[in-house]
């Protein structure tokens, strides 16, 4: 046996060779030792746990996927519902805008039609105003004064629209006066365009339609309709006032006609020619024509014809009454002897007195009692100096016992003309005027003529 050092080196050399041989040889797995039953049970549990874990993870993953899909689907459905809801609201808003635009266009069309109708009515009212105004002037020339409550208003209802716009209309006075004025452009006054096609709404009006609260003051259809309604009421009121004026005028005329007839009826003088008046409708001028269109407002035309016929009758009746010897021959009202039988002052026996004796100082003016022609201005027996005047309707008046003539035979005189002076010529006991009225050369009582003249003074 060697030394320990030799043994140690030999052992190291063998160990190194053995390691080198192992490296040069291929690797060989060590065969595991046979597993014991306990170890196999443990491995099976681990395997089952791993399988369960994998199954749980799969279930969780599948559940998560299904939940996510349901969430996504629900969100998608919610978005679709919102989109449909928004689309429905947009469609409703568009429909509302279209409806408002259509209604606005329809309102505009309605307003324009109403304005056109009002223009035609105002023109007719202007014609009526002219007719009634002329009738009133004729009535006033005949002494008929219309009461203040029946004055005719000036027909200017649409003029206020032009002056004030569509917000409101200025109140018109009811006093008669001024000329009838038409609105130059009532469509413009109301904010309308007569040439705009139906349904053509400007962009600014579409915006106003989409925003109901953004319409300008006074430009809404409601304001325009209200303004037009007031104008229609004004025109209707003026129509009614025209009818009232015509009715009042006719009644006032009839009252005067009846009053004149009442006072002249006892005189025994007929007025058939004066009472046969017909409405004075002007004849058509030359070089005119056109289709015949009947006048529509028969009620108004009938009132005008009635009023005009009454005025014509009144004028003719007044002219006929003025031709009667109803004026006083003297300013004095002192009667010294009436018409009829009396005791003759010279013979002291009953005699017929064919006139009235007016007591007055010599030189007092004597007036013609009606228009006529002087047929005598000479000395005539018991009349002394006498003037005889021939009037219409077979009437003659005589003025006796004059001191002087102031007219000549053949002169034309009117009522109130001075024809001579009071005297005492002829068969007279003192200064006075002998006044006679003769109908068809028959002496009648002059007193009814004189009294009628006193009462008719208010009419004539």
pLDDT digits (tens, 9 = 90+) for 207-219: 444 444 444 444 5
Q: Which of 176, 193, 177 is nearest to 185 (CA)?
A: 193
Residues 342-378: b if buried by 16+ CB within 10 A, e if exposed: eeeeeeeeeeebbbbbbbbeeebebbbbbbbebebbe
Can you say how many angstroms the Cα of residue 69 is from the centroid of all Cα atoms in its chain? Answer: 75
Digit-coded pLDDT (tens) for 100-110: 777 776 666 67
- pLDDT of 257 over the 80 cut: yes
pLDDT digits (tens, 9 = 90+) for 131-162: 888 888 888 887 887 665 444 555 555 555 55
Q: Mind listing the pLDDT tens digit for each residue in 400-443?
A: 999 999 999 999 999 999 999 999 999 999 999 999 999 999 99
Residues 6+ apart with CB under 8 A from 173: 153, 154
In this structure, how many other beta carbons lie within 10 angstroms of the beta carbon of residue 297? 12
Beta bridge partners of 396: 390, 438
pLDDT tens digits for 293-319?
Answer: 544 567 888 888 898 899 999 989 999
Compute CA distances 1 → 7, 8, 11, 14, 449, whole Å: 8, 12, 13, 17, 209
Q: How far is CA 133 from CA 171, 181, 299, in A?
A: 21, 15, 18
Q: Quick check: 355 pLDDT over 90?
A: yes
Determine which of 238-242, 331-335, 380-384, 404-408 has the lowest per-residue pLDDT on average.
238-242
Q: CA 282 to CA 6: how far, in whole Å?
A: 176
Q: Walk me through the domains of the chain, giving residue ranges and CATH numbers.
A: 40-212+219-279+296-322 (no CATH), 335-456 (2.70.70.10)
- Comparing CA positions, the residue from 374, 275, 383, 390 lying closest to residue 321 is 275
Give the global pTM.
0.56
List, in sequence order, every residue forming a beta bridge with 420; answer none if it has no partner.
366, 405
Distance CA 156, CA 183 (A): 8
Contact 428, 246 (CB under 8 A): no
How far is the C-alpha of 325 from the C-alpha of 392, rounded, in Å? 10
On whether the CB atoms of residues 344 and 351 are closer than 8 A, the answer is yes
């Amino acid at each position: 046996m060697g030394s320990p050092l030799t043994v140690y080196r030999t052992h190291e050399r063998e160990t190194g060779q053995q390691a080198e041989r192992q490296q040069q040889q291929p690797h060989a797995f060590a065969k595991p030792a046979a597993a014991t039953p306990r170890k196999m049970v443990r491995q099976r549990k681990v395997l089952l746990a791993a399988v369960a874990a994998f199954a749980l993870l799969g279930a969780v993953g599948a559940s998560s996927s299904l939940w996510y899909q349901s969430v996504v689907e629900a969100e998608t459905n919610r978005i679709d519902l919102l989109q449909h809801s928004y689309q429905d609201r947009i469609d409703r808003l568009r429909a509302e805008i279209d409806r408002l635009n259509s209604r606005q266009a329809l309102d505009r069309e309605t307003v324009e039609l109403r304005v056109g109708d009002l223009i035609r009515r105002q023109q007719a009212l202007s014609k009526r105003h002219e007719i009634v105004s002329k009738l009133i002037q004729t009535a006033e020339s005949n002494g008929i004064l219309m009461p203040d409550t029946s004055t005719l208003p000036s027909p200017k209802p649409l003029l206020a629209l032009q002056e004030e716009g569509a917000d409101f209309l200025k109140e018109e006075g009811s006093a008669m006066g001024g000329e009838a004025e038409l609105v130059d452009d009532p469509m413009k006054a109301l904010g309308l365009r007569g040439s705009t096609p139906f349904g053509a709404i400007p962009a600014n009006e579409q915006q106003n339609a989409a925003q109901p609260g953004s319409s300008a003051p006074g430009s809404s259809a409601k304001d325009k309709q209200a303004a037009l309604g007031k104008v229609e009421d004004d025109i209707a009121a003026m129509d009614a006032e025209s009818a009232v004026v015509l009715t009042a005028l006719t009644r006032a005329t009839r009252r005067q006609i009846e009053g004149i007839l009442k006072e002249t009826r006892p005189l025994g003088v007929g007025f058939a020619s004066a009472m046969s008046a017909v409405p004075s409708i002007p004849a058509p001028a030359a070089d005119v024509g056109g289709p015949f269109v009947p006048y529509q407002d028969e009620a108004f035309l009938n009132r005008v014809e009635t009023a005009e016929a009454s005025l014509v009758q009144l004028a003719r009746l007044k002219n006929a009454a003025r031709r009667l010897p109803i004026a006083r021959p003297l300013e004095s009202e002192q009667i010294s002897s009436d018409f009829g039988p009396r005791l003759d002052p010279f013979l002291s026996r009953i005699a017929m007195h064919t006139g009235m004796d007016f007591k007055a100082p010599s030189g007092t003016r004597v007036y013609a009692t009606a228009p006529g022609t002087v047929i005598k201005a000479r000395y005539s027996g018991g009349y002394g100096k006498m003037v005889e005047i021939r009037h219409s309707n077979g009437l003659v008046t005589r003025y006796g016992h004059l001191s002087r003539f102031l007219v000549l035979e053949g002169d034309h005189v009117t009522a109130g003309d001075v024809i001579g002076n009071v005297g005492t010529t002829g068969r007279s006991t003192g200064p006075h005027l002998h006044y006679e009225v003769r109908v068809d050369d028959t002496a009648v009582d002059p007193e009814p003529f004189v009294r009628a003249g006193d009462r008719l003074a208010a009419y004539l």
